[in-house]
Amino acid sequence: MSAIITDQFRILNANNFVESVENTNNSYYVFLGLANPTGAAGLVGFGRKSTWDTETPAPEDSFSYRKHVGDTTMFGKKISSANIRRLVRRVDWVSGNRYEIYRDDYSATNQSPLTKANRLYDANYYVVNSEFKVYICIDNGSNGTNPLGNVSQDEPTFTDLEPSKAGNSGDGYKWKYLFTVSPSDIIKFDSTEFITVPNSWSTSTDSQIRSVRENGNSESNFNQIKHIYIQESGTNYTNGLSQEVNILGDGEGGKARVDVEGGKITNVTVSAGGKGYTYGIVDLDTINSNVPTTGKAKLIPIIPPGRGHGDDIYTELGTDKVIIYARFDDSTNDFPINTQFAQIGIVKNPTKAGSAITYTDSTFSSLQAVKLDTVTGSNEPKIGELINQKLTLSPNEGKIAKGYVASYDKDTKVLKYFRDRSIYFNNSTFDHTDRVGVTTSGRIYQFESASTANVINGEESGFSGSIQINFTGITTNPTGAKLINLGTRFQGGLSDSEINKGSGQIIYMDNRPKIVRSSRQKEDIKIILEF
């Protein structure tokens, strides 16, 4: 039995995703992670690769891999309604180019004439002009003997509600204005391949959007025919210009004016679009008395989408793609600048540390941290290196606490770190292979803050640092000149992640060559999801 998933299902999925992000009961975040994709000190841990930067591995869609990505996540930024948009292909209007008309019947057996598309959404039936106004092509002068239509000479710039020609060149084009891409969207989501489509089209209070929407959804414009395509012009029809005929079908009130010259139908214009059509038939009985069987004309009324052009632009334009934007800079201490990352992802509904409540703040840090007191050695802590502390307090006396350095601020002496399974797996094979010392090194131990605590050591840099055990709070003033907000609250020199590690659903993962952050740069993340 043959079956397909329709384009409308894809559009529905995109709509549902956008609505899910905009739902205040949900929290979606773009996150960055994996500070040491090639491993520290030449050691390649679980989920890493020595040639990561040159042969970046594809992420794996498994429970295990997603859990590991959650363990190596460092920080995230919430996705707001202002930072998510539906997308369509960008088709620029260019003088001298041809564009296809909107038709409701493009298919594998009726391909679009110019792009040979098997579906409407792959045809070039809409354009964006130099002012970022978007138009549907209603007519391009095409017919059965000229299926490609004419070249477009007049750039559409109007915002009229009804389809109109753009200029006086006589190029045969009629355009229907839909919307204008906002300047903020142009800046934020700029792309040479796609354009954004406004959110909340059906409920928007923007005056221009509302006018287009209500025009497309008006009772008088309901399924109103705007164009009739001459597939076959026929022979022996009664000559005459502007001969009015009815448009039959399942609607009512439709009329057309037909020009016949030399027995052939040369032009058809819609004089009354009627309403309620899902199909139409042009009644030529009044002018076809002498037409032979082999000379019948074929006129195809083009049915608009939904209730009319502009009613539902998501369906009209085929918005099965979504773009998500996030900017990471130095505006918050949740985003340390002295770090690096090699993974980007999206997580839904992580939970607040120590609870089952969904985390809702605008940013999160999933790193743990220590506030160092004194740091010795010729080198500072190195990003990605393994650190350790031999524990002194019962019941973990003699055990080793470990972590990977995510960032280190030499001014505040705050070292942020994360831990994943590669620390606790076999330290040669980085997997489940049995080894000597698994009893003391195969489980997680927390760094300890006590007067008897040992220093924390860097296994690659060689630094040693003692924990500032008397430090409690969220701010510090190391030089006495400036109070610095650390972004996370410390207790006894230790700070925990703001979210439960591994919580939430990771719905998108992207492995990238390592990117080193700095105070002189910002990372603009743009993720395109295609449904």
Q: Which amino acid is at 49?
A: K
pTM: 0.91
Average pLDDT in the 135-139 region?
Answer: 98
Mean pLDDT of the 373-380 span: 93
pLDDT at 457 over 90: yes
Judged against a pLDDT cut of 90, whether residue 355 lies above it is answered with yes
Measured CA to CA, the distance from residue 521 to residue 519 in angstroms comes to 6
pLDDT of residue 41 exceeding 80:
no
Query: What are the residues whose beta carbons fall under 8 Å from the beta carbon of 238, sequence distance 6 or more?
Result: 260, 286, 287, 288, 289, 290
C-alpha separations of 249 from 220, 228, 278 in Å:
17, 14, 8
Cite the residue boundaries of each domain of the chain with CATH code 2.60.340.10: 7-84+323-351+507-530
* Average pLDDT over all residues of the chain: 94
Q: How far is CA 188 from the centre of its chain?
A: 12
CB atoms under 10 Å from CB of 330, counted, come to 15
Percent with pLDDT over 70 in the chain: 99
Instruction: Look at residue 40 and tell me whether its pLDDT is greater than 80.
Output: no
CATH architecture of the domain covering 7-84+323-351+507-530? Sandwich (2.60)
Q: What is the pLDDT of residues 460-479, one digit of tens each?
A: 999 999 999 999 998 888 76
DSSP H helices in 233-374:
313-317
What is the average per-residue pLDDT within 29-41? 92
Write out pLDDT tens, residues 254-270. Answer: 999 999 999 999 999 99
